[in-house]
Amino acid sequence: MNVTIQPGAVAGTVAAIPSKSAAHRLLICAALADRPTRVICPQLSQDIAATVRCLEGLGAQLRRQGEGYEVIPLDRTKPVGTCLLDCGESGSTLRFLLPVAGALGAEATVRMAGRLAQRPLGPLVEQLRKGGCAVTLWEEEKRLTISGQLRPGEYHLPGDVSSQFISGMLFALPLLPDGSRLVVEGARESASYLQLTLRALATFGLTPREQEEGWTIASQGYASPGVVQVEGDWSNAAPWLCLGMLGGEGVTVTGMDLDSLQGDRAVCRVLAAMGGQVRTAADRVTVLPGPRVPTRMDARDIPDLVPVLAAVAAATPGVTEITGAARLRLKESDRLETTARMLNGLGGQVEETADGLLIRGRSHLSGGQVDAAGDHRIAMAAAVASGACTGPVTITGAQAVEKSYPTFWAELRSLGKQVEETPVGP
pLDDT, position 180: 99
Q: In the chain, which segments carry CATH 3.65.10.10?
A: 2-17+232-422, 20-229
- Confirm or deny that 164 is annotated as ligand binding: yes
- Confirm or deny that 119 is annotated as ligand binding: yes
Of 309, 281, 283, 279, nearest to 297 by C-alpha is: 309
**Helix pair angle (163-172, 191-203), 10° resolution:** 20
Positions in the chain whose pLDDT score sits under 70: 426
Sheet containing 11-15: order of strands: 11-15, 250-254, 284-288, 277-281
d(CA 349, CA 167): 37
Catalytic (active-site) positions: 304
What's the distance, Cα to Cα, between the start and end of the chain in Å?
11
pLDDT, position 189: 81
Q: Write the CATH number of the domain with boundaries 2-17+232-422.
A: 3.65.10.10
Instruction: Say which CATH class 20-229 falls into.
Output: alpha beta
pLDDT, position 190: 85
pLDDT, position 264: 97
- Confirm or deny that 377 is annotated as ligand binding: yes
- Confirm or deny that 362 is annotated as ligand binding: no
Q: Give one word for 409, left, alpha or beta, with left for phi > 0 and alpha for psi -120 to 50.
A: alpha
pLDDT, position 188: 85
- Confirm or deny that 414 is annotated as ligand binding: no
pLDDT, position 426: 66
- Confirm or deny that 20 is annotated as ligand binding: yes
Count Cα neighbours of 146 within 13 Å in the Cβ-side half-sphere. 32
d(CA 263, CA 275): 20
pLDDT, position 425: 74
d(CA 155, CA 126): 10
